[in-house]
Every structure is written in structure tokens, then in C-alpha cells.
Amino acid sequence: MTSASARRARGSDNSIRPTLLKTGLGAGLLTLALTACQQQPEPIGRAHQFSGPTMGTRYRIKVVMDEASSQQLYDIEKASTTALENVNAKMSNYLEDSEVSGINAAVGNEPFPVSSDTLEVLQHALEISSTTMGAFDITVAPLVDAWGFGPPGRAPEPPDKQEIDRILERTGWEMLRVDRASSSVTKDRSDLSLDLSAIAKGYAVDQVADALDALGIDNYMIEVGGEVRTKGLNEQDEPWRIGIERPMPGGDQAIELIVPMSNSSMATSGDYRNYYEIDGERISHTIDPRSGYPITHSVASVTVVGPLCVRADAYATALLVLGPEGFDLAEELGLAAYFLQRDKENVFVGRMTTAFKQILESGESIQID
Ligand code: ADP
Ligand code: MG
């Protein structure tokens, strides 16, 4: 990226021309491509980066410190990877011995004891199911599997209407109950099955943030698979600048918009990264739990900014499910959200809620949600 294009990309209105990043990196890495290519040379020794695989994707952490001993850097990396491994070990439905797999396998409707981490995620999930009228629903697991996006992988044929109707009988967030006092969950049906893919990455980001806070780190950016949380300032002593991606043909990446962030999280859900096609029709990994079918409307992505990454992550998925009507709900809930929609000519049009506009105008993320 040239410094001229970097300057363009750093504008804060949505009229900027997209800047191509021919990096070939995945969605989650766009944010880092942006922060890494700002104009100023990095002051040596102030910014430190860590990255690696986690939760079927990658994490990237950047900390800015005036002085850091190698012991401190070791502690930061260790605390971060421990937090990520903890969340994955509890919430993955790809690991047979995870807590989520235990809940899924449990037979009968006795309370199933869970850790405080899993309890917290389930509570956020159920609350967001309620505020989004079931658009967010972690009991979609059998639908996700049927459409070929779960642990069993893709079936030779997509499910037919009869199969979807059968599966819908055993989905529904209201059949899952969480009891805080006993730290347990109860399934109304034994065959209720959970998928935390749309919320666990956000929670993992929050957990890493807590770990860095405990180590006294004041300036950081944490990213797991495109979900981001920031604190303090970047190495230029400015708010972190996090990019929202505009999908381009052939998988190229362009920047739609840069959001200044200091103490907040950003999560994006899109229909363009994880999908396959049948007869030219896009089969998205985001499922509308009300119909049992993948989403088909014109909204390509929804980005949500808020204090907690766990909630931003879930809301981004929920609003993407709701599509254009999700915009009104986001306004009603006071969420800072950015909708990227395809118009009739297949040109992208961005729309932002009032709270999102305020973030751009104030030059720094404010606390919402
Ligand atoms: P990504 O994983 O690409 O960041 P999301 O956060 O939007 O994207 O999560 C999508 C995943 O969440 C799907 O692959 C599926 O496992 C699960 N999922 C799909 N539809 C829903 C839904 N309506 N509510 C909750 N989880 C969903
Ligand atoms: Mg999500």
C-alpha cells in the first residue's frame, strides 16, 4: 500500500475510494494490513506483535509499550494464548471433550453444569436471541450441519424442505435455559444442539483483553478471525484505525471505511467469505433460524462496534440474518452498526446507524450497548 493510498484510506467518511490490498490475506487480517501500513515508521521497540492459529482461524495481537522486557513479552504472549486455548477448549464443537460437545451429547433434561465462561457466553447469546426476535440462535447447530458448514462437512446434496422442517422442530433458543445460581444449562429436548461459532471468537477476544488488562497493558489491539478489540492508542499515539472490508470480485480486498477506535470492539459478519454455490446461487454459512435456510437478501455485511466483543460478534450475525430490516432494529437498540448492501446494479452502498455516525464524528469510539 502506498502512503498516498494509505492517506486516502485513513479518511473518515464513507465516500473514500476503496484501496486494494493485494495481500491475499484472509478477512481477519485486513485490520492488521491497515494498521501495519500507516505512514509513520514505527518507533523501534514500542509496538510488538504476536500471531498464530486459533479456533479454526488466526489471532493477531499488537501491544504498544514504551519499554518491554523479554520476560514481559513472554508473559503477554503466554497469557494471550492461554486465554484463547481456554475458550476453544470449552466452546468448540469440533472438540469432542469440550463443554459445548458435552451439552450437545447430554441426554435427558437434567441441568448440565458449565463453567462460568460458558455460562456467560450462553447468557449473552440468549439475551441477544431475545432482542433480535430469534435471528441470533445458537441452537442452529443441526441446520449448520445440514447445510454443510458444521463438523461433518459438506453433504453431496443440500437438504430438502422436509428435512429442514424436521430439523426446525429441534431448534429454538427458547428450549435452552440457563441458571446462573447453579451455573448450569437445561435443554428442553435431548436433541437440542449448540453452535457457538458466531459468538465464541468475540468472547475469546474479550478474554485476551482481560488478560492484558491484568498485566497492566494500556495500549493494545486484539483480533481473532476479524473480530477486534482495542484499548488506548496505537504506536503513533492516535486511536487505532480499524478497516471495514468491501468485498471485491475474485476475493480481492478493498477498504470500505476506517473506524477510529480506542476502547471498543468491532465485529463483522459477511455473506462473501464462507459460502459455496449451487446452480449459481450463493449458499451462505449464515442461517435464518426462522426459516432454516441460508440468508439470500442484499446485505453483504454488517459491522457492529461496541464495548464488548462478545456482543458485537453476536449482533453482527443477528443483524446480517435480519438483513435490511435489521437496520431499523439496530437504530432502535442504539447499536453502532454499518450495513453494506448490494443495490440493483450490484454496487455496494453503505448505511450507518446514528450511533455509528457519532463514532466517526467524534473520532473515537464511544460506549454503546
Ligand atoms: P464468522 O464465523 O465468519 O465470523 P459469524 O460470526 O457470522 O461469522 O458466524 C457464523 C457461524 O455461526 C456459522 O458458520 C454458523 O456456525 C453459526 N450460525 C449461522 N447462523 C447463525 C445464527 N442465525 N445464529 C447463530 N449462529 C449462527
Ligand atoms: Mg458473529
Which atom belonging to ligand 1 lies closest to the Cα atom of 57?
2
Q: Is 223 in the pocket of ligand 1 (CB under 6 A)?
A: no
Average pLDDT, the chain: 86
Q: Is 321 in the pocket of ligand 1 (CB under 6 A)?
A: yes
Mean pLDDT of 356-366: 79
**Cα separations in angstroms, 19 against 26, 64, 91, 308:** 16, 26, 36, 29
Query: Is the pLDDT reported for residue 307 higher than 90?
Result: yes
State the cell numbers at 128. Answer: 441477544
Q: Is 123 in the pocket of ligand 1 (CB under 6 A)?
A: no
For 80-126, write each residue's pLDDT tens digit.
999 999 999 999 999 999 999 999 999 988 999 999 999 999 999 99
What share of the chain in percent tops pLDDT 70? Answer: 85
Which atom belonging to ligand 1 lies closest to the Cα atom of 321?
23
| Range of lowest pLDDT (228-242, 265-279, 339-353) | 265-279
State the cell numbers at 198. Answer: 458466531
Distance 188 CA to ligand 2 centre (A): 25
Residue 60 DSSP symbol: E
Angle made by CA atoms 196, 200, 202, in degrees to the nearest 5:
140
The band of 323, judged by pLDDT with boundaries at 50, 70 and 90, is very high
Q: In what order do the strands lie in the sheet with 265-270?
A: 47-54, 57-64, 220-224, 227-231, 265-270, 299-306, 336-342, 348-352
**What are the backbone dihedrals phi and psi of residue 262, each rounded to the nearest 5 degrees, phi first?**
-120, -45
For 54-63, write each residue's pLDDT tens digit.
999 999 999 9
- The whole-number pLDDT of residue 109 equals 85
